[in-house]
Structure 1
């Protein structure tokens, strides 16, 4: 009876109010829950290192002591890893490409950002340089590389990206690609940079596989590395543990097969060169990274087995040989690099190695804020650390108990 006394417009308005109130209430509850969860999950990353290195980082790289609040709707490391791929980068980077030859007759593609109009470091001969090493199937076009360049160039520094063989757009001149254990290409690039700019300090920054290459290079070269400091982000510490983690059903579906497919595409692209030394058709049937490494990488680089290759490629096995200061960022929920493989005990004993571990962040994720942007926690850390290393080098040497001239 009461409904019949209402006009159609009044009845519609009442219905809308009845519907909207629960929706508004639900939205408010969800928003409040997200902020509550966001606040609870946010915490200061765990920093494991010597007292001297810790004091240096807290003084000149304060982000290591700030609370990291991961994006609340990115549940877990897997989602952090996936969402980062879809975050658009508004960074416009114009490269100067250079091809250099290697000892085996191959070539490497280097993409430079000279930053020649730098006001802070106008002299090209002494302008600090950041060498960036991308991940497994990455190149200079990856969003995390572009953002890293933005961070470094705003301080007036020069950047150069080493594209791994077969992934920089250049042709493969010899039947040889790359692997995490072979640091000859990194050495070639470092020597080339120092020949061009012998007076300019050089810092290395590696992401994922790039971090493995950097750490293995620094360990092998020791005091002759020609690099003043290193920074790794989402590095794979133990290749065997990483492979087992990536072969878990969900990780295999989300990441492993996709990366294996990209590796196979690169092999297919350079088939004419590679089929001279490898069974390409057999390699192209690989469905996981381990299968690819069994059929291609370990064979290409002369290992008896994939296990032997993985042991040789794992930076944790030779980290103690590193002499330059190194800061390593990892997330405990990284599906590529499980936390039980982090060299915590070793970092506690070494004066020049610092592990910075967040509870969340995934693999090359580290998205924070309610609405994440292209500049993540990882990117801001890079910006602060390269500035701290270049502008306070003497303090860094003293903090890490390194007396020798690392730039020699």
Structure 2
């Protein structure tokens, strides 16, 4: 498909990528939509908590939301999507990835950028217990990478799944890591690292023989975390093997349903490889939109809803 020309032009202050990123993550307030929690038991005995919001009109359409690194189903960017879709006749299922719902998960493993087996389990559960005619996916950052990988790595098992939107996606995980390690992103990387170290300490209480104090002290960077924990817990050789195996970039050509990828050009988390222009320009199902502004999961728009939320609703509503 031709690359999508973006109409997004925020107010002057929000054209700064860092301001857009920080404001949307830490300062945005969203009226809390009603959510009902369901615990899904996974094939390996672990669990995912699903937070459901229902349209008042009785929907035959479902949106499944996937959060980003160290996010959850109550983050403003998730709640904004819940609100706009539930107000527009959709039911919404916001997935808390393993260990992200306020309670440590049971297994030594956790969530990661390529854990598509967990998304498969959610879809299997929804299709077998509900009667939606149309199921769509929306993912942010890590969650966006996960859903694009899922859509492209093998044929879809569920005919109900008909569209997807991915926001601020590090399509090449190593390229994104390089960006996060730059001085301009020091505060973000530090915040992520501190949160992940706390997760390691929580995991240590359950698995003291596998995670030592020395292991935790050695986590000086995000790559250290992936070398010392992510790769070991999920069967990868090391961090670089994890990044290579789980980057969605290599799976994009296999996507068979309409998918919108919205990556701002001033997203400081993304390097050049995270903008798959050549692939999208030749692909019949990938719509790549690269506005000049938006930051990382920012996309401020004055009013109740942000640009990425209105854009996702319009894109998915127009699918037949």
Please confirm whether the aligned pair reaches a TM-score higher than 0.5, indicating the same fold: yes
How many residues are matched? Answer: 319
Matching residue within 53, 60, 76 for 2:16 = 76
The 5 Å alignment of 1:323-342 reads 323-342=256-275
Matching residue within 11, 26, 29 for 1:89 = 29
- Aligned-pair CA distance for 1:182: 2.0
The 5 Å alignment of 1:345-360 reads 345-360=278-293
The 1:97–1:76 alpha-carbon spacing in structure 2 relative to 1, beyond 3 Å, is: same
- Aligned-pair CA distance for 1:303: 1.2
Q: Is the 8 A contact 1:88 1:374 kept in 2?
A: no
SS in 1 for 2:154: helix
Alignment partner of 1:309 is 2:242:
yes
The 5 Å alignment of 1:15-30 reads none
- Aligned-pair CA distance for 1:99: 0.6
The 1:283–1:373 alpha-carbon spacing in structure 2 relative to 1, beyond 3 Å, is: farther
SS in 1 for 2:155: helix
Matching residue within 136, 143, 147 for 2:80 = 147
What residue in structure 2 maps to residue 113 of structure 1? 53
SS in 1 for 2:156: helix
CA distance in 2, matches of 1:363, 1:66: 16
Deviations 1:42-62 (A, max 9, x none): xxxxxxx25xxx8xxxxxxxx
What residue in structure 2 maps to residue 245 of structure 1? 179
What residue in structure 2 maps to residue 321 of structure 1? 254
Deviations 1:338-373 (A, max 9, x none): 2443111011111011101101111001124xxx45
The 1:210–1:66 alpha-carbon spacing in structure 2 relative to 1, beyond 3 Å, is: closer
Alignment partner of 1:101 is 2:72:
no
SS in 2 for 1:98: strand
The 1:382–1:87 alpha-carbon spacing in structure 2 relative to 1, beyond 3 Å, is: farther
What residue in structure 2 maps to residue 43 of structure 1? none
**TM-score scaled by length of structure 2:** 0.93
What residue in structure 2 maps to residue 29 of structure 1? none
CA distance in 2, matches of 1:234, 1:266: 24
CA distance in 2, matches of 1:94, 1:360: 31
What residue in structure 2 maps to residue 387 of structure 1? 317
Matching residue within 134, 137, 140 for 2:70 = 137
CA distance in 1, matches of 2:38, 2:167: 26
SS in 1 for 2:50: strand
The 1:280–1:128 alpha-carbon spacing in structure 2 relative to 1, beyond 3 Å, is: farther
- Aligned-pair CA distance for 1:242: 0.4
SS in 1 for 2:13: coil
**TM-score scaled by length of structure 1:** 0.74
Matching residue within 77, 84, 95 for 1:162 = 95
Q: Is the 8 A contact 2:21 2:294 kept in 1?
A: yes
Unmatched 5+ stretches in structure 2: none
Q: Which deviates further from its counterpart, 272-281 or 127-136?
A: 272-281
What residue in structure 1 maps to residue 123 of structure 2? 190
The 1:294–1:70 alpha-carbon spacing in structure 2 relative to 1, beyond 3 Å, is: same
- Aligned-pair CA distance for 1:66: 6.1
CA distance in 2, matches of 1:66, 1:279: 49
The 1:355–1:94 alpha-carbon spacing in structure 2 relative to 1, beyond 3 Å, is: same
Unmatched 5+ stretches in structure 1: 1-48, 55-63, 394-408
Rg larger for: 1
CA distance in 2, matches of 1:380, 1:356: 14
The 1:332–1:132 alpha-carbon spacing in structure 2 relative to 1, beyond 3 Å, is: same
Deviations 1:205-247 (A, max 9, x none): 0000000110111112323254211110001111111011111
SS in 1 for 2:137: strand
The 1:340–1:176 alpha-carbon spacing in structure 2 relative to 1, beyond 3 Å, is: closer
Matching residue within 203, 208, 212 for 2:145 = 212
Deviations 1:71-93 (A, max 9, x none): 31235322221121233323221
The 1:74–1:157 alpha-carbon spacing in structure 2 relative to 1, beyond 3 Å, is: closer
